[in-house]
Amino acid sequence: MADASIEFKGTSFTLSVLHIKTAELANIRADLVKKVSQAPDFFYLVPIVVNIEQLDCSIDYQAVKSLIEELKFTFVGFTGAVGNEQRKLIRELGFSFVNTSKIEHSQKNPQEQQALVKEPQAITASPEKHLFTDKIHRGQIRSGQQIYAKAQNLVVIGSVSAGAEVIADGNIHIYGSLRGRAIAGAQGHDKAQIYCQNLEAELVSINGNYWLSESMEQHWGSPAFINLTDSELSSAKLI
């Protein structure tokens, strides 16, 4: 039987996380008051998760919650890479323990952190991650020439002539005129963008959506960038 009146769905939010580095509540209070006084409106009723992983000793969780609420934050729960016993204790006190999806915040284990730093380099070639390196071409790309930056962004220091074609799996930056064809996000990447200092292209395409020159009238002959918004190409003035 379906619940017509309610529905549960998982959604990601950005929450403010307060990292506490000491169990001395008086110090925490003093620093918090100082912080809030700098921008009272900004902090008013802001949901707060308290990260306790940098604490070496236990703390009065109830007192922390009271302090947070007293300063007009909305207390959500605790988080941090702590042992199971501590989690259990927190739950028994009636507070929620929030698990972060990423463990990047972990500062306890430097080895683990190093591994995390290495990871993005290893996956730069994967289009899914869109962490492309740059292929840099110096000089003009002439009519009949074709340049493909596979799993890379393409940077052209020069113009792209009519009848020339530049293709990249990532973004395309042209420090010159774009008079030929530019195809960005060629392997399927709808966040890819095309930048040029003078838009006079025959064709621009992002992730399979394309424009012929007649669609570029608005920014024709001026510095422009082109991106994909809701599967529709749009252009904007660059400077």
Partner 1 sequence: MARIIVVTSGKGGVGKTTSSAAIGLGLALKGHKVVLIDFDIGLRNLDLIMGCERRVVYDFVNVINGEATLNQALIKDKRVSSLSILPASQTRDKDALNKENVGKVLEELGKSYDFIVCDSPAGIEAGAMMALYYADEAVVTTNPEVSSVRDSDRILGMLASRSRRAELGLEPIKEHLLLTRYSPKRVEEGEMLSVEDVEDILSIPLLGVIPESQAVLKASNAGEPVILDTESDAGKAYQDVIDRLLGETVDFRFLVAEKKGIFSRMFGG
Residues that contact partner 1, how many (by CB under 8 A): 15
Between residues 71 and 162, which has the closer beta carbon with respect to partner 1? Answer: 162
**Whose CA is closest to 154, among 142, 165, 143?**
165
Q: Residue 144 in contact with residue 166, Cβ under 8 Å?
A: no
Minimum distance from CB of 239 to partner 1 (Å)? 19
Q: Residue 180 in contact with residue 143, Cβ under 8 Å?
A: yes
Which one of residues 113, 161, 215, 222 is an interface residue with partner 1 (CB under 8 A)? Answer: 161
Backbone phi, psi, residue 90, to 5°: -60, -45
SS3 177: strand
Residue 96 engages partner 1 in binding (rule: CB under 8 A): no
Select from 16-24, 63-71, 82-90, 133-141 the region that touches partner 1 (CB under 8 A): 133-141
Which one of residues 22, 86, 145, 215 is an interface residue with partner 1 (CB under 8 A)? Answer: 145
Select from 22-30, 128-136, 153-161, 218-226 the region that touches partner 1 (CB under 8 A): 153-161
Q: What angle do CA 11, 53, 117 make, to 5 degrees?
A: 70
Q: Spell out the residues 6+ positions from residue 143 whose beta carbon is closer than 8 angstroms to its own.
A: 161, 162, 163, 164, 180
Binding pattern for the stretch 171-200 against partner 1, x by CB under 8 A and - elsewhere: ------x-x---------------------
Residue 139 engages partner 1 in binding (rule: CB under 8 A): yes
Residue 158 engages partner 1 in binding (rule: CB under 8 A): yes
CA distances from 119 to 104, 105, 106, 113, 115 (A): 12, 15, 15, 10, 6
**Whose CA is closest to 18, among 39, 38, 47?**
47
Minimum distance from CB of 21 to partner 1 (Å)? 58
Cα separation, 202 vs 185, whole angstroms = 17
Which one of residues 100, 113, 140, 222 is an interface residue with partner 1 (CB under 8 A)? Answer: 140
Between residues 34 and 138, which has the closer beta carbon with respect to partner 1? Answer: 138
Residue 159 engages partner 1 in binding (rule: CB under 8 A): yes
Residues at the interface with partner 1 (CB under 8 A): 139-145, 158-159, 161-164, 177, 179
